């Protein structure tokens, strides 16, 4: 299962810093986490979602060892 890590506002919205997910594509994962964590739905479209440190599209396949980071926009610099 892929490991999803939540940061900042995404962590607050889910109430957790990470979880294991079994979805096989990034698009399926996005839909499932939004459904499972309704508070995340409002910010997820603005988040950078990285798979293995890279931006990929929603058709990207997820493997058992993938690390998915959900990074909300950060203020400051």
Asked whether the predicted pLDDT for residue 14 surpasses 90, the reply is yes
Confidence label for 72 from pLDDT (cuts 50, 70 and 90): very high
Cβ 51 vs Cβ 74: under 8 Å: no
The pTM of the full predicted model, rounded to 2 decimals, is 0.92
Other C-beta atoms lying within 10 Å of the C-beta of residue 17? 11
How far is it, in rounded angstroms, from Cα 6 to Cα 41? 13
Q: Would 32 be classed as within a structural domain? A: yes
Q: Would 11 be classed as within a structural domain? A: yes
Q: Would 29 be classed as within a structural domain? A: yes
Q: What is the pLDDT of residue 75?
A: 55
Q: Would 64 be classed as within a structural domain? A: yes
Domains contained in the chain, number: 1
Q: Would 76 be classed as within a structural domain? A: no
Q: What is the pLDDT of residue 73?
A: 87
Q: Would 38 be classed as within a structural domain? A: yes
Per the structure, the complete domain to which residue 46 belongs is given by 2-71
CATH number at residue 63: 3.10.20.30
């Amino acid at each position: 299962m892929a490991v999803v890590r939540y940061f900042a506002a995404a962590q607050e919205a889910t109430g957790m810093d990470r979880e294991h997910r079994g979805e096989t594509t990034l698009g399926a994962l996005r839909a499932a986490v939004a459904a499972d964590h309704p508070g995340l739905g409002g910010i997820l479209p603005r988040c950078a979602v990285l798979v293995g440190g890279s931006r990929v599209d929603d058709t990207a396949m997820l493997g058992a060892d993938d690390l998915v980071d959900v990074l909300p926009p950060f203020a400051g610099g």
